[in-house]
Structure 1
Amino acid sequence: MRFQVLTIVQHAPHPLTGALGSAADRLAEVVETGVRAEELGFDGYAVGERHAGAFLSSSPTVLLGALAARTTRIRLLTGVTVVAILDPVRVAEDYATLDQLSRGRVELVIGKGAEMGHFDLFGLDEESQWEYQAEKYELLRRLWREEKVSWRGRFRPALDGATTVPRPFGARPPRVWHGSATSLNSPELAARHGDPLFSANAIQPRAAYVRLIDHYRERFAAHGHDPAHAYVGAGSGGLFLADTTQRAVARFKDFYEARVRQTYKPHLADKPGYNTPFRTIEEAIADGPHLIGSPQQVIDKILEFHQAYRHDLQSITVDSSGLALPAQFEQLQWFAEEVAPVVRQAAPTTLWQRPAHEERVTPVT
């Protein structure tokens, strides 16, 4: 198992105290957390992309560029890149630049996004979201793999002999994962191209994600790809470790349940994947995706995920817990020292066996 830290750069008042720090301080915390994650041995650090709601993650390339300058080893991912609303030419340019700056450490997780408001913001039709995603990803693939691309599509002006610059670092373009939360569209697109899948594993019951992952693996093989390369990542709810599960519940219960109330979206009540059904902390621990409890409780839960998903990459989040930055770092250290080694041994993977720069560069002969 590999491990990444994910932030969607939430910037909302503390649900119990009402406190809200400045945007500048919040963005600085994102960078410092990525630096600390590398120091602690995490494999990846991911920044989300949101253009609506209480978030500061509208420009993940800027944040990841800051991380590229402060780190040397950790892989830099997105979570997700909302390719459905973006121009593939700009995506190709921006992330290839970041790929060069980081010397091949960039990997994208693409998706149509978790906030419906961004389609109106960009003047796009929400009903066409999956068509946007499929067409724009097809073009992005070509732009990173070919030069002098000529292309015709439905959603942007045609291209005639276009070559985006810079080119991706090394001999191959960045790996692209497909974020999957509710629909079979993303698993199908990932399987068609032989790409890895990243399950949200965030709000719905586990069976909903099993359905998506099983479909992906079935279609991956049907498209003629080697099943050994059908890598799967899984998200999780927030991390909160304590000496015992009872202490974790006592310390985190009020915050967790207040945050659930704060983030409830009544206008999306009938759509899966937008409001958690796990309203109490006891429900979240028993059946939800949150990693709350003692280190052993969290180990057991991740291995339960693995039994269901057979995933290779586990994502964790610490900045949605209401903790100050030093306490978040303590959580990361605790996880890195007591949880990650046990799970790595119990659930080995071939993902990221070599450093990023070695995977991406063809030796000169």
Structure 2
Amino acid sequence: MRFLAITLIVHRPDPVTGRQKSTHDRFREVLDNAVLAEELGFDGFGVGERHERPFISSAPTVVLSHVAALTRRIRLFTAVTTLSLLDPVRAYEDYATLDHLSEGRLDLIIGKGNGTAQRELFQVTPEDQWDRNAESYQVFRQLWRQDRVTARTRFRPELTDAEVWPRPYQRPVRVWHGSATSKESVDLAARYGDPLFSANVTNPVEPYAELIRHYRERWEYFGHDPADIAIGAGTAGLLVAPTTQQALAAYRPVFEANLAFFRRAGLPVVFETLEDFVARSSALIGSPQQVIEKVHRYHEQLGHTVLHLHADAGGLTDTQHRDSLELFQSAVAPVLRKDIPDPPFPWAPVHPAAEEPPHV
């Protein structure tokens, strides 16, 4: 099994203390967390893309380029690239450049994105967002694979024998499809034989497991080998401590502060108590053995071989957060790496053959 640390770069007051870092300090924290993730042995570091409050992750390629310069081994993920909002030509140029700067350490997780404010900002409607996502991915995919592209499009000017530079480092790049609650992303992933990344953070496991069953059915329908399926899944929270009691005591202020925030904001509350949250959500809160057992239970339902954890403290103190990540890597990750297989593809960058110089 492989492990990612992911941030959406939420920029709001600390749920427990009420203090809010400056924008500059919040970005520095993200960079520090990326370096820490590599230091502790995580396999990937992901940055989300959102274009609305309270996120400041509107330029993930810029952030990941800086992370690439600070790290050497860890793979870099987008979580997710909101292709329904983007011009696929411009997105290709940004990510092909990042692919070179990171020396082939880039994986993309794509999705339509969500949120009314960012849809309005880009003039995307609920009715056309899925069609935009599919079209943008089809064009993006062609651009990555072909030196010249012709594409008949609805949502951007058509392309006729177009050349787009730079040509990428990885050919092709691995693209995961982020899925939360709808079958459109699942169907798109299955059609192209791409891996799926389940959000798996808001609800109990059942709706996510149902989508993954659908993905497996569609995968075979499109003629792909079931042995090639790769699935990732998220977690709703993390706190690993030597004992259950210590983990619950440390996480309780975070849970109660977030619960109060959801109620003030009029957001739906799925888990009313910390005990219910620990029992029925994907959160990994407890002793190392409890966390190992819970990941195994989820693996039985989802069959995932990649797991994402929160890169941010999210209300924990910096010491609590680091201690939890260190204990996860020392006492949990080694067991899960042994028990659960890796995805069915190489994880390290595959260095491409030397490119021929362009013809002038």
Distance (Å, rounded) in 2 between the aligned partners of 1:180 and 1:324: 31
Deviation per residue, 1:228-247 (Å, 9 max, x gap): 11100000012112221122
Q: Which residue of 2 aligns with 1:132?
A: 132
Asked whether the equivalents of residues 220 and 227 of structure 1 are also in contact (C-alpha less than 8 Å), the reply is yes
Q: Which residue, 323, 338, 353 being the options, matches 1:345? A: 338
Deviation per residue, 1:245-292 (Å, 9 max, x gap): 12221221122122133145867x6xxxxx451132111111011111
Change (3 A) 1:265 1:205: farther
Asked whether the equivalents of residues 47 and 79 of structure 2 are also in contact (C-alpha less than 8 Å), the reply is yes
**Structure 2 residue 248 is the aligned partner of structure 1 residue 257:** no
Q: Aligned-pair distance for 1:36?
A: 1.3
Aligned AA (1:176): V
Aligned AA (1:22): S
Aligned AA (2:326): Q
Aligned AA (2:104): G
Q: Which residue of 2 aligns with 1:272?
A: none
SS at match of 1:127: coil
Q: Which residue, 327, 332, 349 being the options, matches 1:334? A: 327
Deviation per residue, 1:148-197 (Å, 9 max, x gap): 21211111111122121111104x12100000000011110000000000
Q: Aligned-pair distance for 1:39?
A: 1.5
Deviation per residue, 1:102-136 (Å, 9 max, x gap): 11110110011132321001122222111111111
Q: Which residue of 2 aligns with 1:281?
A: 274
- Equivalences for 1:192-341 in 2 at 5 Å? 192-263=191-262, 275-341=268-334
Deviation per residue, 1:21-71 (Å, 9 max, x gap): 111111111111111111211111101111112111111111100011011
Q: Aligned-pair distance for 1:363?
A: 8.6
Q: Aligned-pair distance for 1:73?
A: 1.1
Distance (Å, rounded) in 1 between the aligned partners of 2:69 and 2:16: 36
Distance (Å, rounded) in 1 between the aligned partners of 2:23 and 2:70: 20
Distance (Å, rounded) in 1 between the aligned partners of 2:343 and 2:179: 22
SS at match of 1:99: helix
Aligned AA (1:53): R
**Structure 2 residue 25 is the aligned partner of structure 1 residue 31:** no
- Equivalences for 1:91-110 in 2 at 5 Å? 91-110=91-110
SS at match of 1:289: coil
Identity %: 47
Change (3 A) 1:277 1:40: same
Change (3 A) 1:115 1:342: same
Asked whether the equivalents of residues 47 and 79 of structure 1 are also in contact (C-alpha less than 8 Å), the reply is yes
Please identify, of 189-198 and 43-52, the stretch whose mean Cα deviation from structure 2 is larger.
43-52
Asked whether the equivalents of residues 83 and 133 of structure 2 are also in contact (C-alpha less than 8 Å), the reply is yes
Asked whether the equivalents of residues 76 and 107 of structure 1 are also in contact (C-alpha less than 8 Å), the reply is yes
Q: Which residue of 1 aligns with 2:358?
A: none
Aligned AA (1:218): E
Aligned AA (1:178): H
Change (3 A) 1:351 1:9: farther
SS at match of 2:160: strand
Distance (Å, rounded) in 1 between the aligned partners of 2:69 and 2:263: 37
Please identify, of 253-262 and 142-151, the stretch whose mean Cα deviation from structure 2 is larger.
253-262
Change (3 A) 1:31 1:245: same
SS at match of 2:270: coil
Asked whether the equivalents of residues 82 and 112 of structure 1 are also in contact (C-alpha less than 8 Å), the reply is yes
Aligned AA (1:333): E
Aligned AA (1:2): R
Asked whether the equivalents of residues 203 and 276 of structure 1 are also in contact (C-alpha less than 8 Å), the reply is no
Structure 2: unaligned runs, 5 residues or longer = 356-360
Distance (Å, rounded) in 2 between the aligned partners of 1:243 and 1:231: 32
Aligned length: 355
Change (3 A) 1:265 1:87: farther
Aligned AA (1:222): Y
Distance (Å, rounded) in 1 between the aligned partners of 2:259 and 2:180: 19
SS at match of 1:176: strand
TM-score norm. by structure 1 comes to 0.93
Q: Which residue of 2 aligns with 1:361?
A: 352
Distance (Å, rounded) in 2 between the aligned partners of 1:334 and 1:127: 45
Aligned AA (1:47): V
Change (3 A) 1:232 1:242: same
Q: Which residue of 1 aligns with 2:76?
A: 76
Distance (Å, rounded) in 1 between the aligned partners of 2:81 and 2:205: 24
**Deviation >6 Å, runs of 4+:** none
SS at match of 1:126: coil
TM-score norm. by structure 2 comes to 0.94
Asked whether the equivalents of residues 291 and 332 of structure 2 are also in contact (C-alpha less than 8 Å), the reply is yes
Structure 1: unaligned runs, 5 residues or longer = 270-274
